[in-house]
């Protein structure tokens, strides 16, 4: 039980940090398109600030989305031919993509500016997939 909890906390941390990094870099990349020069130190500072400042809003949303998807993936794991690693990676990917699509559809807002583009949305899915892989790897034995 505690191994699952620790794995879950690690997975949301990894997904959150990666998602924040991706979001920041996509936003800064868009600024670069307007001929703004952004140094490496500015990029690192902005990334650190976003990781800290998004913790109150984005981290709980990621935690909820991954919790729901991991419960569903655990149920599917009984019947799936996929390995746990692939199953939880897919669950994490879809959790974060669906999180942003649902926020847009229900609330009419884009919580993370990078998700306005398909590449930005997919990058958030990749962050969720890595979080899902962390959970599958650290939470227990293979199927």
**Which whole number is the average pLDDT over 72-86?**
87
How many residues are recorded in the chain? 143
C-alpha distances (whole Å) from 127 to each of 11, 23, 34, 79 are 10, 10, 27, 26
The full set of domain ranges for the chain reads 2-139
**Which tokens sit at 111?**
């919580």
Which of 40-44, 80-84, 117-121 shows the lowest per-residue confidence on average (mean pLDDT)? 80-84
Rounded Cα distance between 6 and 30, Å, is: 36
73 half-sphere exposure, CB direction, 13 A CA radius: 27
C-alpha distances (whole Å) from 14 to each of 17, 51, 100, 132, 135 are 5, 11, 18, 9, 10
Rounded Cα distance between 45 and 41, Å, is: 6
List pLDDT tens digits, range 100-122: 999 999 988 888 888 889 999 99
Tokens 């959150």 sit on residue: 16
Coil, strand or helix: which one is 110? Answer: coil
Q: Is the pLDDT of residue 16 over 90?
A: yes
Q: What is the pLDDT of residue 143?
A: 47
Rounded Cα distance between 22 and 50, Å, is: 10
Rounded Cα distance between 94 and 32, Å, is: 29
């Amino acid at each position: 039980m505690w191994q699952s909890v620790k794995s879950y906390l690690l997975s949301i941390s990894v997904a959150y940090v990666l998602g924040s990094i991706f979001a920041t870099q996509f936003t800064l990349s868009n600024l670069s398109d307007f001929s703004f020069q952004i140094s490496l130190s500015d990029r690192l500072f902005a990334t650190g600030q976003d990781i800290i400042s998004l913790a109150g809003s984005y981290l709980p949303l990621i935690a909820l989305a991954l919790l729901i998807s991991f419960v569903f993936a655990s149920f599917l794991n009984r019947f799936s031919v996929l390995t746990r690693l692939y199953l939880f990676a897919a669950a994490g990917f879809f959790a974060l993509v669906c999180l942003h699509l649902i926020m847009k559809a229900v609330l009419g807002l884009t919580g993370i500016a990078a998700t306005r583009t398909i590449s930005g949305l997919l990058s958030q899915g990749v962050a969720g997939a890595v979080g899902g892989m962390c959970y599958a790897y650290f939470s227990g034995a293979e199927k």
